[in-house]
Amino acid sequence: MAADIFNVTDTSFEEEILKSPLPALVDFWAAWCAPCLMIAPAVEEIAADHHEKLKVAKMNVDENMNIPAKYGIRGIPTLLLFKGGELKETIVGVQSKNRILEVVSKHL
């Protein structure tokens, strides 16, 4: 995993994401999910390019079930963007880096 991306868990989610002073993009994924692996390079590039303005995290849905259930994650990959503790955007499925940036940039 890229240095600019960190793992978040059910227990660390509130502190790391909801209380983050920066907008936070969370990638809900699983190791067995081929589409998740397909978008990983785009998410890593976004994290590296925008690390001063955007916090990027990954949450493994097999290891953490409470937060994905709370936010209605039914399919992966799903990206959720939070700002000021509120869910602002949802991106479901494989998307291009440009499409993800288009959605995220509105909140930076």
Q: Per the structure, how many domains does the chain have?
A: 1
Q: In 3D, which of 99, 83, 90, 107 has the Cα closest to residue 42?
A: 99
Residue 91's domain is classified under what CATH number? 3.40.30.10
pLDDT score of 1? 56
Residues with catalytic annotation? 33, 36
Q: In 3D, which of 14, 108, 103, 106 has the Cα closest to residue 57?
A: 14
Single pTM value for the model: 0.95
* One pLDDT digit (tens) per residue for the chain, 108 residues: 567 899 999 999 999 999 999 999 999 999 999 999 999 999 999 999 999 999 999 999 999 999 999 999 999 999 999 999 999 999 999 999 999 999 999 999
Sheet architecture: strand order including 78-83: 5-7, 55-60, 24-29, 78-83, 86-92
Do 14 and 45 touch, CB atoms closer than 8 A?
Answer: no
Do 55 and 17 touch, CB atoms closer than 8 A?
Answer: yes
Task: Print the domain residue range for 93.
Answer: 5-105
